[in-house]
Amino acid sequence: MGDLSQKSNTFWELFHAVPGSSHWTLATPPGVADNGGLVESASDGAALVGVLPSDLLHFSPLAQSGDGGTSWNPAFLPTGLASLPDALAYGTGAPGGAIALTGSGRALSASGSLSSWSPLVSPAALARVAPRCGVTALDAAAILPTGAPLIATGCRRGGQVGVFTRTTGSWQPVGWTLGGSLRGAATTVLRLEITGSTTTALVAATRGGHSALVALWRTGNAPWTASAPLAVSSGHPVLSTSVGAAGALAVLQRSPTGSPIAFDIAPGVRLWSPLPRPPSGTSALALPATPVTLDAEAIDAFTVHGGSLGVYALSPSGTAWGRVQTSQIPIAYGSSG
């Protein structure tokens, strides 16, 4: 938010809504310049937020909250986070702890107190485990219900989707191979999330100059299921992504005319569904955190104009957006100059 034409006056803000409500409350951790961006991971009502490096801030301060962002406690990370949506994974159940993907391309892990971090894995180590993938970089991190780490990587060849976990002390590939028109494609994992026993991955694949998005789901140790590809042209860049209950996904893109367009998909469904054209200026979508029912909360769309936040909810019929909230957010212009 703020003056998006000036990096020093662009500020990232975190908002929280309780399940069943479309009212969003400002919950940004205080005290740190967040012009570089924020990365957040939530687990069982608790949240861990990291601030991306910017200007003279060369590491990533962390903040923990167990009450929806009403209060925050500082946590330690000795380096800077990678600028990736799932660069942080946070687990509050036993054994707890966190995983952080760093700007230098490594993965670090910490115990429940987050007071000490140690190396977890590198791209080179995972490349040796899966030579057919041609690992390019660490893309996303998650923590399985068992406490085991889950790391996604880019793959430069073979239509491989790089997903790895560590069992009995060694790393094993647990990914997927794309077929059809994406056979042999290079891949990047845009999102990696775990909700209950379901693992969800959103994959960007490129082959022969053509790009597409594919949603993948896996329950427990069962085989992955995949959606049909959603074409992404050079005039339709991905603006934001969202993961909801049980692994539902939404994607916000920019059309060739510059207006936003959106698609969503539910676990196990093959085809992506277009959503009604979002309000002008939409920059992000939020999917419900609970399974969709007739009386459940709707998909929300967020618009930003300076310090003004607009929230629009999709109607129960799924045909139109209606404004449900307008909030003026205090912006500390000039504080990062």
User: What pLDDT band is residue 289 in, cutting at 50, 70 and 90?
Assistant: confident
For position 300, what pLDDT does the model report? 95
Burial code (b: 16+ CB inside 10 Å, e: under 16) for 18-57 equals eeeebebeebbbeebbbbbbbbbbbbeebbbbbbbbbeeb
CA-closest candidate to residue 86, choices 242, 285, 254: 242
Which is more confidently placed, 195 or 203?
Answer: 203
Is residue 337 scored above 70 in pLDDT? no
**Averaged over 268-281, what is the pLDDT?**
94
Residue 14 pLDDT exceeds 60 = yes
> Is the per-residue pLDDT at 107 higher than 60?
yes
pLDDT beyond 90 at 245: no
Angle at CA of residue 294, ends 220 and 47, nearest 5°: 50
Please list the residues that pair with 6 across neighbouring strands.
Answer: none
If you average pLDDT over residues 43-62, what whole number do you get?
91
pTM: 0.95
Residue 291 predicted with pLDDT over 70: no
State the pLDDT at residue 83: 97
With DSSP H G I counted as helix, E B as strand and the rest as coil, what are the percentages for the chain, rounded to 5? Answer: 5, 45, 50
- 112 vs 67, 75, 286, 318, CA distance in Å? 17, 11, 28, 41
Q: How sure is the predictor about 113, in pLDDT bands with cuts at 50, 70 and 90?
A: confident
pLDDT at residue 233 in the model: 78
pLDDT at 56 over 90: no
What's the CA gap between 134 and 162, in Å, rounded? 9
* Best mean pLDDT range from 251-255, 308-312, 316-320, 329-333: 308-312
Q: Which structural domains are found in the chain, ordered by start?
A: 36-288 (2.130.10.10)
pLDDT for the residue numbered 297 = 59
Quote the pLDDT of residue 294.
Answer: 47
- Residue type, position 306, single letter: G
- Predicted pLDDT at 292: 55
Average pLDDT, rounded, for the chain: 92
